[in-house]
Amino acid sequence: MKLFKNFIIIFLLLFSNNLYANENSERNEITKNLRCLICQGQSVYDSDSDFANSMKILVDKKLNEGLSEREIYIYFKEKYGDWILYDPGLNKNTYLLWLLPILIFLFGGAIIFKSSIFKK
């Protein structure tokens, strides 16, 4: 009896975690990177506005048409500009955004380096 119980427990443990991520994982991944333009501070994935819901349908449609994730981003960028992407590429409008952290890091590093030399 005990063996049987253990067997059942093991059986349940083995097969109970068969929960797959939902089928829309690719769509969710893409919509998380798209900004909902009419709601502030929300991604298309988070938002339930009319605009976001239509975007989700369109992303599904584009995926069915066989477009890759990158192609979908380019498609929306052409329509709405850089702002729609949460991860904008490096261009003349965004270079400060990308380079500022590096500059701050170098500046801080220089201060630490200098002060450690003076300590010696």
Partner 1 sequence: MKKKLIPYSIILIFLIIFAVFYKSLKDTNIYTPETKINNDIPIFSADLMYLNQNSTSTEIFELDKFYLLNIWASWCVPCRDEHPILMSLSKNNKLTIIGMNYKDNKKNAKSLLDELGNPYEKIIVDKNGTISIEWGAFGVPETFIIYNNKIIKKYIGPLNQMLFMEIQKTIK
CA distance 45 to 34: 8
CA distance 27 to 58: 10
Q: Contact between 18 and partner 1 (CB under 8 A)?
A: no
Site string for partner 1, 61-90 (x = CB under 8 A): x----------------xxxx-x-------
Q: Segment near partner 1 (CB under 8 A), from 6-14, 15-23, 24-32, 110-118?
A: 110-118
CA distance 115 to 16: 58
The minimum distance between CB 78 and partner 1, in angstroms, equals 7
Q: For Cα atoms 72, 30, 91, give the angle at the middle one, nearest 5 degrees.
A: 60
Q: Contact between 9 and partner 1 (CB under 8 A)?
A: no
Q: Which region, left, alpha or beta, applies to residue 81 given φ > 0 means left and ψ of -120 to 50 means alpha?
A: left
Nearer to partner 1, 2 or 79 (CB): 79
Interface ranges with partner 1 (CB under 8 A): 37-38, 40, 50-51, 53-55, 57-58, 61, 78-81, 83, 111, 114-115, 118
